[in-house]
Amino acid sequence: MEPRPRRVPFADRLRVPGGRDGRRMLVVAIIDKVGTGLWSGAATLYFIYVAHLSIAQIGVLMGLSGILGVAGPPLAGRLADRFPVTRVLVVAQLARGAALLALLTTNDYALLVLFSALGALPDRASSVLTKLFAARVAGPDRIRYQAIQRTAVNIGWAVGAAGAAAALTVGTTASYQALLLANVVSYAVIGALTLRCAEPPSPSRVVASPATAPGDGLPPTASPRVPATPWRDRRYLAFTGSEIWLFLDDSILQVGFPLWIVHATDAPVGLAPLVLVLNSVLVIALQVPLSRFGETRAAARRLLVPIGASFLTGGVALAASAGGGPWFATAAVLLAAVAFTLAEILHSLSSWELSVALAPGEAQGAYLGVHGLAQSAQRSLGPVVVGAAVSAGPFAWPVLGASLVLACLAQHRLVRPDAAPAVTAPENARAPEAPAT
């Protein structure tokens, strides 16, 4: 019988895994999100009122940035297997600041697109590098560390967004530029803090080395070991593919709820921002307490069942919200928001643990980099899927919920303990020859 999830004493709940460097990187994450919250709330308005771009131009700018940003996670993962992750992270943080600062130098559309796209690459890379650092510095407590980090960054994001809202009441060019500069300063600060972090132990760093020559100590029949690669691991690629769909909660909450409330229900329009407030409050309140249910690979796999149930409940509740008056619609929307937020919290635990547990130590960075593609792809695909669901009407939400259940069941089968990694052999790798008799 498997052990039940351990109860964490209250005193231990205040302890941050990873010691001093774990706490320092937690501060880095908070400052990062405060800065991001300040700028994200003003970015679109900056391009409209300061750079004088049209809505269509802004859409193209963000779309191209998203496309280039997709390359960030796998590139960061590969670099982190070869170089110290802290140093790679510092470079990414400073590159984010430099690209953002460059926006102040021009209103030329082509240059704005270029600088935004160049900023998206290290921005997406930073999320993977931070996750990799946390996995290494916290060790077996990585799930708890991730839960604390998500709670902290939600607080940081809320503080930044509130600061942006206050600054935007002024509405001058100087106020928009001040928010941009505040985010640039946050990147410089977190870069300096990251430099003070010791490099966490790595399972094994892949380094370039010359081919082993005869007489180097290897038996004549042995071949140099070829490092594992996620691009040949069919199970990990399938796992990452299913993750794209399970990350849809982000687009549903950020895009789907506001559109659905306005276009399909009798709920008050003011409910839309309250849904995001409710989401943040629930994440802050529940992320750490629920982390004990995802501390092992087996526990993370079990979470896929309640994740699917939460997705289906949210889809049914959203569909029901279109069929009643204001009070009924409000109650149904709030129920759906709670269900999708619960799915988000549980999936973040399951996804974090499984993405690390399924990755071999010698290629951990490369594997987590590939896994980072799931969120990048969702950011492009998600708004399209959610927009189609809103346009299709109430019946689309239970169908979408059922498809998410199927994704959970497929992933549950993919990550079962008796499933061996489906890795294809590299073309240049030969099986050792049998010894002569």
Distances, alpha carbon 158 to alpha carbons 30, 40, 225, 314, in Å:
10, 11, 48, 24
Could you tell me where the DSSP H helices lie in 393-426? 396-414
The residues that bridge with 423 in the sheet, in sequence order, are 233
Cα 258 from Cα 276, distance rounded (Å): 10
Distances, alpha carbon 335 to alpha carbons 52, 183, 186, 301, 330, in Å:
40, 35, 36, 25, 9
pTM of the full structure? 0.75
Closest CA to 254 of 34, 41, 100: 41
Closest CA to 431 of 223, 219, 291: 223
Closest CA to 88 of 28, 129, 134: 129
pLDDT tens across the length of the chain (437 residues): 444 555 555 445 557 777 888 899 899 999 998 998 888 778 878 888 899 988 788 878 887 887 888 888 899 888 988 889 999 999 999 999 999 999 999 999 999 999 999 998 999 889 889 888 888 888 888 888 888 888 888 888 888 888 887 887 787 889 889 999 999 999 999 999 999 998 887 664 443 333 433 333 334 443 444 557 888 899 999 999 999 999 999 889 888 898 899 889 999 888 887 888 888 889 989 988 998 888 889 999 999 999 999 999 999 999 999 988 899 999 999 999 999 999 999 999 999 889 988 988 778 888 988 988 888 888 878 888 888 899 899 999 999 999 999 999 999 999 988 655 554 444 344 344 444 43
Q: Which residue type occupies 126?
A: S
Residue 384 neighbours by CB under 8 Å, 6+ apart: none
The residues that bridge with 233 in the sheet, in sequence order, are 423
Cα 165 from Cα 36, distance rounded (Å): 13
Closest CA to 46 of 117, 114, 116: 116
Tell me if 347 sits within 8 A of 289, measured CB to CB. no
Closest CA to 166 of 42, 29, 280, 31: 42
DSSP string, 245-257: HHTTHHHIIIIIH
Tell me if 357 sits within 8 A of 342, measured CB to CB. no
